Amino acid sequence: MNRINKALAQHKKLISIYFTAGYPQLEDTSEVIKRLAEAGTDVIEIGLPYSDPLADGPVIQKSSEQALKNGMSTQKLFQQLKDIRKEVDIPLIVMGYFNAMLQFGVEDFCKECEAIGIDGIIMPDLPISIYERDYKALFETHGLKFVPLITPETSVERIQTIDALGDSFVYMVSSSSTTGGEKGFGEEAMSYFKRISDMQLTNKLMVGFGIKDAHSFEQASRFTSGCIIGSEFIRRLTNEGMHGIEPFIKSLK
């Protein structure tokens, strides 16, 4: 079974952490992964930095800019991850923007991911219609789970279409915003989490955007399988370095 689905089958709330590859230092990528795994993270999203990350707020924009300045590239990321499966067994998802994949060659990109032992891909700007038409078969051949996004504005009908596309989890964006929002979860957000949970989709649900501590983690995972934390983790990594990783993960539990 794919590592993502194995994790989702556990009866616990999953902690998924997003970080930008090649940040703060170019060669930090595998060290961050190892430390996250040791600290008890359940799923890791490895961000391939992009020059124009449309769905991201200021924190991830900055980390991406720095990573690119450090010399991060698609080729470099695959090199850095070459032996990662000798070190960790945690589910690994590559998250990036579609142009990077397109320029590398979608098939080559998938092959590299499979060779490394990547379990899934999140490409926020690869529309589901194009994924289904052009790339679904390819992803499946290479054992890669495609993780689609939904938002509070996504219609019921479209959620059902999206649900039919995959068989791992759907990335539920907590509110209509770019990453790193600080809105907190009020009644509206809670009822959205519950509403989608009540739809009993084939896919599990993971909530992302705007989660930053044990409280927001508890709220966002109450009706779902867990949460994805990005901006807040990067903020910690920036301020506290590698030593900040373990206490942060522990603080969420």
Partner 1 sequence: MSKYKVDEQGFYGDFGGAYIPELLYPNVEELRQNYKQIIHTEDFQKQFKSLLKDYVGRPTPLYLAENLSEKYKTKIYLKREDLCHTGAHKINNTVGQILLAKALGKHRIIAETGAGQHGVATATVCALMGLECIVYMGAKDIERQAPNVARMKMLGAKVVPATSGSKTLKDATNEAIRDWINHPKDTHYIIGSVVGPHPYPDMVTELQSVISKEVKAQMLEKEGRELPDYVIACVGGGSNAAGLFADFMDHEEVGIIGVEASGKGVETTESAATTILGREGIIHGSKTLLMQNTDGQITEPYSISAGLDYPGIGPLHAHLFKTGRGKFVSITDVEAMEAGLELSRMEGIIPAIETAHAFAIFKYLDFKEDDVLVFNCSGRGDKDLETYRKYFGY
Q: Which residues from 176-205 bind partner 1, rule CB under 8 A?
A: 176-178, 181
CA–CA distances in Å: residue 129 to residues 94, 119, 140, 186 = 20, 22, 16, 32
Cα–Cα dist 53/63, whole Å:
11
Residue 45 token pair: 């999203």
Whichever of 130 and 242 has its CB closer to partner 1, that residue is 130
Instruction: Give the x-and-dash track for 141-170 against partner 1 (CB under 8 A).
Output: -------xxxx-xxx--x------------
Cα–Cα dist 237/243, whole Å:
8
- Closest to 172 in 3D by CA, of 149, 200, 156, 199: 149
Active site residue 213: no
Q: Which residues from 83-112 bind partner 1, rule CB under 8 A?
A: 97-104
Instruction: Give the x-and-dash track for 66-85 against partner 1 (CB under 8 A).
Output: --x----xxx----------
Cα–Cα dist 118/140, whole Å:
13
- For the bound state, the minimum distance from the C-beta of residue 168 to partner 1, rounded and expressed in Å, comes to 16
Binding site for partner 1 (CB under 8 A): 50-52, 54-55, 57-58, 61, 65, 68, 73-75, 97-104, 124-128, 130, 148-151, 153-155, 158, 173, 176-178, 181
